[in-house]
Structure 1
Amino acid sequence: MAYTRKDVSTLTAAEKRRFVKALLEIKRRGEYDEFVRMHIEYYVADGEGELRTAHMTPSFLPWHRQFLLDLERALRKVDPSVSVPYWDWTKDRTKSSAPWTRDLLGGDGRRSDRQVTTGPFAYKEGNWTLKEGVTDGEFLTRDLGRARDPMALPTKSELEWALKDPLYDVSPWDSTVTRGFRNKLEGWGTGRGSAAWRNHNRVHRWVGGVMVGGASVNDPVFWLHHAFVDLCWSRWQRRHREHRYLPAKPPGPGSDQRGRIVARHQKLPPWDVTPDELEDHGRIYRYA
């Protein structure tokens, strides 16, 4: 039977407690840090000349769908009632709204070093020491809205700009494409400031701290953000039913993307699953 992912702003006090408790338990067991390590490993930029599965690539969406499912399965082994809520950043747009409350993810980082000092994931609580990352920092950091160089979260119209594109993705299937739903949602743009970071990417930048870069999984908001990104993919699928994941077939000989991206029926490392098999989540979970 499919379970439900809810809007984080609608969670009851009990649902918040259970979600936080399950996260803290898989962190205590060391399982959570495996997710951080995995995301760092698969955060491959398109300029590196390697296979890209997680970012700057068509498989951005199915890769993170499977990643979310793995995290959710770990949480549900602790508490079968738990699912990952989603944060609709086009609606809950302030530093005091959900999910930035003391009973859920805690708030902004303090001015001096951006350390999060409120909520269950604050370093002082002793339950959320960072053990995997691109720096040696041990505490969770945030810079909500970027105080020194303010940035706004994406708007409904900016998200709609991505959702209305009927093409899933286009050649050369990387961070430079200007057409296709995938990169309009993932958000690699050009220029400076907000224009360079759209939708998904701008949210990472707006949160700041450890959410910027490959170790972004260290902030639990990563999962709420990606649950909403996944919901956006579901909405796009319903709107454009005749369109599917692209490319359908691997790039041909002579293409500089050959062997660097995953086509619809190819396995999606590190799992034994294809993008094709991940397009329909209806039997596993639904969105409220």
Structure 2
Amino acid sequence: MHHCIMVCLLILGLSVGLVISQITPESWIDSDSTPSSISLDSEKVKAFGLRPSNNFRCKRNTITRKCRLKCTCIKGRRYCCRQRKDWDALTHDEKTRFLNAVYNIGTGRAGWRLRNNWVRLLYIHELYWVEGIHDRVQFYPWHRIYLLKIENLLRQVDCRLTVPYWDWTKNVARWWESSIFNWRYFGSNLNYNARTGEQQLTTEDQCPSNGYFSPQYGYQDLEGQCLVRQFTYNVFPASYKRIQNILSWKNALRSEADLRHEHGIPHYIVGGEKTGLFFTERAAEDPLFWIHHSNVDYQWYQRQTRYLETIFEPWKERGNIGQSLTAFPETVGQALNPFKLGRLKTCVEYVEYDDRYEDWLRDKRTRANKVGSLSSGTHGYSTASKMECMKSQHSFPALIFTLFKTSPAEKKNFLRNRNQDGDC
């Protein structure tokens, strides 16, 4: 009898463990590992196979005068990188310098050679929209190189420029209040409000009503029309907690898939079905595209630099690494190392704006000590809130699943994980 009870308890324990593992993917930090910072250091120099920028000896970190590269001194050698910063961390002068460059290239005021190269890059996204650039193997590497190419173009106007990132994980419930949509910068749309339920819209209704890229300043899309935006207020981008949970998963395929799906929310909520950020082949014509995708790349960069085991996941297969990127001469492998990007091996480093990561990690550790595991994301989440969250999943944009050809099982896992993280 005693033997039977023990066997039954063992089977029950295995069943419970199986259920838990199916609910939430195992995390890298479940095993008391110590995630790295995202800054360049000797550990990353070794892990990413970096070589010094020059042969001169150094004793301290410096910033180059001309193009504002940060040179990190590691074991007496310099490693110089571009720095991409959070939009909110930029000064007003830095923001306007970036916007002026985008505006002047887009309108031809910076010269028609730059304008023609700009147009060519925008057309590439349109031409290859359904030609693999949104598939698992290509999505992150392809958009990383695409971002680098547009940044190189901007740096021909001002070599100090890099593409800042729009961190939409801040204040997700009121994302439209970000300073990005300030009338002095990217502008908003005061003519159309999705909460009014208006159905019949003219093109003028959808144009940005202020900012650098509004019709009053002469900014146009590739067909000579205004950009369009249709804000949707009842769907929110992923929270910081949700993104960091995804980044910490050991399952590289699940992590990549969920991040890719979450990237679709800002496209959807900013909207614009012609040349807006919405899911169309012409989304890249709205300059918001670049700072949005800088944030998407920043998230991948965080995973690579914090959890060094993940640097080349899930692209480890030789066939994937050697695969050519659609419409570009670079390969997938040339996009995997953020410190040696492309054929010129450009070093790009992202700069964090606040201490939210340390707060998130501390919270995870605290809950792990209380409940004995980091597997469950439902602690402190009331039954009533959970039911509301489950109901609101119906408002999650189905178009995102259509774009990425999401299987029913993958869709179920994605919504379940999003629900557990409290993101609806």
TM-score (norm 1): 0.78
SS of match in other structure, 2:349: strand
Greater helix content = 2
Q: Aligned to 1:120, which of 212, 215, 218?
A: 212
Question: Residues 118, 108 of structure 1: CA spacing in aligned structure 2 closer, same or farther, 3 A cutoff?
Answer: same
SS of match in other structure, 1:141: coil
Equivalent residues in 2 for 1:137-176, closer than 5 Å: 138-144=225-231, 146-147=232-233, 150-169=234-253
Q: Which has the larger radius of gyration?
A: 2
1:247 Cα offset (Å): 4.2
> Which amino acid is 2:85 matched to?
K
> Which amino acid is 1:211 matched to?
L
Q: Aligned to 2:287, which of 220, 224, 241?
A: 220
> Which amino acid is 2:215 matched to?
Y
Q: Aligned to 1:201, which of 264, 281, 286?
A: 264
SS of match in other structure, 2:225: coil
Counterpart-to-counterpart distance in 2, 1:129 and 1:249: 43
Confirm or deny: 8 A CA contact 1:61 1:230 kept in the other structure: yes
Deviations 1:229-255 (A, max 9, x none): 1010011112332232334337xxxxx
Confirm or deny: 8 A CA contact 1:267 1:273 kept in the other structure: yes
In the alignment, what sits opposite 2:137?
Answer: 58
**Alignment gaps of 5+ in structure 1:** 45-50, 170-179, 188-198, 251-261
In the alignment, what sits opposite 2:146?
Answer: 67
Establish whether residue 99 from structure 1 lines up as the match of residue 191 from structure 2. no
In the alignment, what sits opposite 1:80?
Answer: 159
SS of match in other structure, 1:263: helix
Q: Aligned to 1:110, which of 180, 183, 191?
A: 191
**Alignment gaps of 5+ in structure 2:** 1-79, 109-114, 193-200, 340-345, 352-424
1:62 Cα offset (Å): 0.8
> Which amino acid is 2:333 matched to?
D
How many residue pairs get matched? 241
Confirm or deny: 8 A CA contact 2:323 2:331 kept in the other structure: yes
In the alignment, what sits opposite 1:195?
Answer: none
Percentage of pairs with the same residue: 29
Deviations 1:35-94 (A, max 9, x none): 2211111211xxxxxx51x10322211100000000000000011111100011001543
Confirm or deny: 8 A CA contact 1:154 1:203 kept in the other structure: no
Counterpart-to-counterpart distance in 2, 1:109 and 1:223: 23
SS of match in other structure, 1:286: strand
RMSD of aligned residue pairs (Cα, Å): 1.9
Q: Which has the higher contact order (CA 8 A, sep 6+)?
A: 1
SS of match in other structure, 1:242: helix
Counterpart-to-counterpart distance in 2, 1:217 and 1:223: 7
Establish whether residue 6 from structure 1 lines up as the match of residue 85 from structure 2. yes
Counterpart-to-counterpart distance in 1, 2:283 and 2:327: 19
> Which amino acid is 2:251 matched to?
L
Equivalent residues in 2 for 1:23-42, closer than 5 Å: 23-27=102-106, 28=108, 29-42=115-128
- Following superposition, which runs of at least 4 residues in structure 1 exceed 6 angstroms of deviation? none
In the alignment, what sits opposite 2:338?
Answer: 281
